[in-house]
Amino acid sequence: MTTWRGAVGVPAARVEGPAKVSGRAGYAYDRPVADPAYAFPVQATIARGRVVSIDSAAAAAVEGVLAVVTHRDAARLADTEDAELAVLQSDAVGFRGQFVGVVIAETPQAARHAAGLVRVEYEQRPHDTELRADRPGLYAPEQVNGGFVTDTDEGDVDTALEAAAVSVDRVYTTPMEFNNPMEPHSSVAVWDPGEWDAGGGFAEDARLTLFDSTQGPHVVRSTLARVFGLPPERVRVISPYVGGGFGSKGMPHAHNVLAVVAARAVPGRPVKLALTRQQMFALAGHRTPTIQRVRLGAGEDGRLTAVAHEVVEHTSAIKEFAEQTAVGARMMYAAPNRRTSHRLAVLDVPVPSWMRAPGEAPGFFALEVAMDELAQACGLDPIELRARNDPEVDPESGRPWSGRHLVRCLREGAVRFGWAERTAPGTRLVGRELVGLGVAASTYPYYRFPGSRAVVAYEGGGRYTVRIGAADIGTGAWTALTQIAADALGCPLRAVRVEIGDSDLPAATVAGGSSGTTSWGSAVVAACRAFRHVYGEQPPAGAEAGADMPDDPDVERFAMHSFGAQFAEVRVDADTGEVRVSRMLGVFSVGRVVNPRTARSQFIGGMTMGLSMALHERGVLDHRTGHVINHDFAEYHIATHADVVDVDAVWLDEEDVHTGPLGARGIGEIGIVGAPAAIANAVHNATGVRVRDLPITPDVLLR
Amino acid sequence: MTPFEYLRAEDPAEAVAAVAGRPGAAFLGGGTNLVDHMKLGVAGPDLLVDVSRLPLDRVEETADGLRIGAAVRNSDLAAHPLVRERYPVLARALLSGASGQLRNVATTAGNLLQRTRCPYFQDVTTPCNKRVPGSGCSAIGGYTRYHAILGASEHCVATHPSDMAVAMVALDAVVVVLGPGGARTLPLAELYRLPGDAPERDTVLEHGDLITAVELPHLPFARRSAYRKVRDRASFSFALVSVAAALDLDGGRVRDVRLALGGVAHRPWRAARAEEELRGGPATEDAFRRAAEAELIAARPLPGNAFKVAMTRNAVVATLRALAEEGR
Ligand SMILES: Cc1cc2nc3c(=O)[nH]c(=O)nc-3n(C[C@H](O)[C@H](O)[C@H](O)COP(=O)(O)OP(=O)(O)OC[C@H]3O[C@@H](n4cnc5c(N)ncnc54)[C@H](O)[C@@H]3O)c2cc1C
Ligand code: SF4
């Protein structure tokens, strides 16, 4: 057993902080490479059809242009199974904004200018980008994201709903949302040697290095190796610093392939590619819009008899992604009869993907507003309603919880937040503002992905290096892993240096599913123990030992989830309907917190993103053109500082003895879950108006 | 971005000559709007004549009021003691616009002449009559949340995005222009055009016309004035609707009033009808509402922005109510 000797649990400052604030941290695009060329994509201006002709003469004539590559002359890829990544392999256009070419030039300006001169003619086919619940052709995917089954049906939901003394039957919607991080997606591709054999094939020993901005260097490596037909050991992905990801850098996207294809077109030249903000709206993934019908049946006392959560959402024509929106309803409340389903519309839209808390984030908007509606219908306090429906064991698996402290979070939050001040809906007018309080529950599963390995080396002089190909996307992983290693080795924090963000390091799983600290951390603990086991406390310089992340048998025996309570106070301008969130509080139960400082920033960051989802974010698809028309940060609103007045997060002091050596469950995503519902519920409390469609903009509340 | 040449003008006359003599030339202020457009392919000048460093960067008191140089930065203007004291509506309008960083760079003339934020105008892959005359208006039948409810045409339904200009129009500002043919002045309200069948022309200015200053006449009662901007988020967003108002009370009656609206039309909208309705009448909430409604009779909302009618009405009432309360 590792004893936590003082590094874990301490609010250590970010180890990479000084490098970041002093500008020494090398982000992908800024990497100095010899003699770089610059790529700028040409994007489809139709949503469906095919490219008929491309006139690149004017582009090629621009001074400094080195090459214009299209599907006619792009390098053939070894594996085109993943259509998102089959870049420039055919004339087909599957969504507006898809790559149809790339210009490579001596400067980024020349590349961009020339890209605008490439004339592409299309044979346009009718496209369809509009999600509706009543559209024909909705289908059930084989499974939904995370490997969950698509539908569940327990008991007899219809009968229970019919017999229910109190019921709620409502439709909730969330729009297309975008997780554009601060740092745009960028890749620098370097081939070595830079020359090809006469047939355009790889040299025997060709190696590819990609400086990238990714949540998982090893995933990018294995994917690119497959796509380009290279052995993985000849691909190296380097990504030590990442300016945010929120899921959008969780898997490789088309731009990674495009950078490599572009570099093949200019032998001997590394190629730099950074997406523009506008391009990211078509090429970096997004959250599907959702249409969610929630039905709740309960007795007069509020005890649930039935929960049905049925979701309609979209996927792209070229690649399936099925957000697991209704999965949370399977385990959240103790209703004997439960039904969940996911139906997808195949649309001619960009490829949806992971966005912070895929599934739970949109799903808990619907479920938790519905619970508020049920509380109102039963005349119960919403906290009391949730307490009455808190299940003893996981309703889905029947397993005991590894630790379910939702009710504690709710009750503790109620005291801290001043929940008792809440008045009846629409009754609290302060000046010209209607004030209201709202609450919602939050949860996120404990994920721990196998496949990580850590290696510990003793450098002499009391210094250790820990190597693992993990990624710190701003989460604090770098610091947390240093703390974990220090305690596991029994040495001071400053004696440990962690190396991450490079696929030449021991393999690590992706920074996703809030799994990083627990998965990588378990591997680090195992490696440190292995090291001490072999070398004891007095290792020779150069000593090295490694270990894989150990299995956790408790995963099969317990239901493991984090929980939280989200509180919001809103002020709604009685004249204009403008909503301001004056206070937010999250109380979380997440197992052990490795670093309170970085954890707090994860929580309040998630809650802020939830605020943004509640009030601001909406991608507007123009169905005539098939593209998101508000594709920049002036028009696609995310919360600004002025919108985020007072956001606070606290957590229960606990450890989850079933989640491996750390006793932690992961914290990256739970902060967003439930936050939009808490705000929507507060808006109802303030105004008496129930808003079921996000975002809640002033016009909706205007009187 | 199309390659271009750059010239830093030494004096206004040189700037005018340089632009007037070349069809593809454009003045450059802070560049916060024009350079964006160059990157997006919306504008492609082959010569930029930088006028941001001309000696037009002073705010001066004159016999008739205040003279604001064309190159005065938005943040400097907002912070100017005379502006804050005599024309609070202008200071507040400026501070409600853009962000601190942008206001530090943006100039008075550039702000007046910034172009619409209609997303179709800014996206060269879509038709737009303002960008490419005759190509069609994509906003009609599309996304119109930020579009006009007053004075639009079948050719263009865009709004003018400036906050500053709304306050200036309420204050009867006058624009000083130096053209190839010499200097002239015109009321700011007449600088802007309605789209009609030529939405490509935002203003009545001709190629080579340089704005050198804006003059604000004396308006003592503007010391009690306010700017109310209704928006989708608390800062850094354009107005859904906005109201610039100054109110002169005589007991419980309105002696005089200035009222202009933003976010509702192709130009800052002077609410002359509402002003007329208000003058001499009671300073009551009812009267404010009736006046707003009188102005909005002409409103022709689009499917995506019908809410703006009630929102404008409420914002007018709220602004006048607050000013009236302040005066009691
Ligand atoms: C993200 C974002 C948010 C914004 N939000 C707001 C907002 O909420 N409210 C708001 O009001 N504005 C907002 N703005 C717009 C901002 O106020 C304008 O971009 C700025 O005022 C333009 O001033 P500039 O000096 O940079 O103009 P420039 O970009 O330099 O020029 C704009 C135009 O004026 C012409 N020009 C410049 N100077 C002269 C002159 N002396 N004579 C004749 N022509 C001239 C140029 O040729 C060009 O056509 C926002 C801008 C951005 C980018
Ligand atoms: S409203 Fe005006 S600016 Fe917008 S698309 Fe139509 S013509 Fe262009």
pLDDT at A1 over 50: no
What is the band of A193 on the pLDDT scale with cuts at 50, 70, 90?
confident
With CA atoms as reference, the chain B residue closest to A581 would be: B234
pTM here?
0.97
Contact B142 A622 (CB under 8 A): yes
Task: Specify whether the CB–CB gap between A298 and A376 falls below 8 A.
Answer: no
Among all chains, which residue has been given the structure tokens 């070595």? A192
CA distance A24 to B51: 36
CA distance B135 to B130: 9
Give residues with Cβ within 8 angstroms of A68, minimum separation 6.
A56, A59, A60, A101, A102, A103, A104, A114, A118
Q: Does B230 touch chain A (CB under 8 A)?
A: yes
Q: What is the mean pLDDT of residues A73-102?
A: 97
pLDDT in tens, B259-292: 999 999 999 999 999 999 999 999 999 999 999 9
What is the band of A200 on the pLDDT scale with cuts at 50, 70, 90?
low
Task: Specify whether the CB–CB gap between A670 and A357 falls below 8 A.
Answer: yes
pLDDT at A27 over 90: yes
- To the nearest whole Å, the CA of A60 is away from the closest chain B CA by 15
CA distance A33 to A269: 9
Q: A436 CA to middle of ligand 2, Å? A: 39
For residue A137, give the DSSP letter: T
What is the band of B130 on the pLDDT scale with cuts at 50, 70, 90?
very high
Q: What is the mean pLDDT of residues A529-558?
A: 95
pLDDT in tens, A606-633: 999 999 999 999 999 999 999 999 999 9
**Would you state the pLDDT for residue A92?**
98
Q: Which ligand is nearest to the CA of B30?
A: 1
Contact A577 B311 (CB under 8 A): yes
**Would you state the pLDDT for residue A93?**
98
Closest CA to A263 of A190, A329, A313, A332: A190
pLDDT at B327 over 80: no
Q: B132 CA to middle of ligand 2, Å? A: 10
DSSP letter for each residue of B250-304: ETTEEEEEEEEEESSBSS-EE-HHHHHHHTTSB-SHHHHHHHHHHHHTT----TT
Contact A697 B142 (CB under 8 A): no
**Residue among B119, B231, B237 minimizing CB distance to A629:** B119
CB pairs under 8 A between A and B: 87
Q: Which residues pair with A397 in a beta bridge?
A: none
Q: Which atom of ligand 1 is nearest to the CA of B237?
A: 8
Q: What is the mean pLDDT of residues B127-132?
A: 98
H helices, E strands: number in chain B: 12, 12
- Structure tokens, B137: 């208006």
Q: What is the mean pLDDT of residues A154-167?
A: 98
pLDDT at A199 over 60: no
pLDDT in tens, A500-511: 999 999 999 999
What are the backbone angles phi and psi of residue A424, rounded to the nearest 5°? -65, 155
Q: Does B282 touch chain A (CB under 8 A)?
A: no
CA distance A474 to A662: 21
pLDDT at A602 over 60: yes
What are the backbone angles phi and psi of residue B163, rounded to the nearest 5°? -80, -45
| Ligand 1, pocket residues at CB < 6 Å | A 634; B 26-34, 36, 51, 70, 74, 97-98, 102, 105-107, 109-111, 113-114, 161-164, 210-211, 238
CA distance A71 to A102: 10
Between B295 and A703, whose confidence is greater? B295
Task: Specify whether the CB–CB gap between B235 and B229 falls below 8 A.
Answer: no
pLDDT in tens, A49-64: 999 999 999 999 999 9
Distances (CA, A) of A535 to A539, A540, A648, B107, B160: 5, 8, 45, 68, 73
CA distance A410 to A543: 49
DSSP letter for each residue of A196-264: --TTS---TT-EEEEEE--S-HHHHHHHHHHHHT--GGGEEEE-SB-S--TTTTSS--HHHHHHHHHHH
The percentage of residues in chain B with a pLDDT greater than 90, rounded to a whole number, is: 98
Contact B233 A639 (CB under 8 A): yes
pLDDT at A34 over 60: yes
**Domains of chain A in sequence order:** 17-25+449-551 (3.30.365.10), 31-126+182-244+250-283 (3.90.1170.50), 152-178+286-447+557-701 (3.30.365.10)
Among all chains, which residue has been given the structure tokens 């109620």? A414
Q: Which atom of ligand 2 is nearest to the CA of B152?
A: 1
pLDDT in tens, B161-218: 999 999 999 999 999 999 999 999 999 999 999 999 999 999 999 999 999 999 999 9
Q: Please give the span between the terminal C-alpha atoms of chain A, in angstroms, as a whole number.
A: 62
Closest CA to A409 of A674, A685, A609, A686: A674
Ligand 2 proximity of B128 Cβ (cutoff 6 Å): yes
Q: Does the interface predicted TM-score (ipTM) exceed 0.95?
A: yes
Task: Specify whether the CB–CB gap between B169 and B222 falls below 8 A.
Answer: no
Q: Which ligand is nearest to the CA of B266?
A: 2
pLDDT at A206 over 90: no
pLDDT in tens, B242-263: 999 999 999 999 999 999 999 9
> What homologous superfamily does CATH list for B223-326?
CO dehydrogenase flavoprotein, C-terminal domain (3.30.390.50)
Among all chains, which residue has been given the structure tokens 């172009």? B115
Q: Does B233 touch chain A (CB under 8 A)?
A: yes
Distances (CA, A) of A461 to A6, A62, A456, A464: 21, 57, 15, 9
Q: What is the mean pLDDT of residues A672-695?
A: 98
Residues in chain B with CB shorter than 8 Å from the CB of A643 are 233-235
CA distance A603 to B24: 52
Angle of helix B307-327 relative to helix B285-296, nearest 10 degrees? 140
pLDDT at A484 over 60: yes
The percentage of residues in chain A with a pLDDT greater than 90, rounded to a whole number, is: 95
Residues in chain B with CB shorter than 8 Å from the CB of A637 are 232-233, 237
Among all chains, which residue has been given the structure tokens 């098939």? A626
Give residues with Cβ within 8 angstroms of A39, minimum separation 6.
A102, A103, A104, A111, A258, A259, A262, A271, A272, A273
Q: Which atom of ligand 1 is nearest to the CA of B43?
A: 49
Q: B183 CA to middle of ligand 2, Å? A: 32
Q: What is the mean pLDDT of residues A385-396?
A: 98
What is the band of A553 on the pLDDT scale with cuts at 50, 70, 90?
confident
CA distance B53 to B11: 9
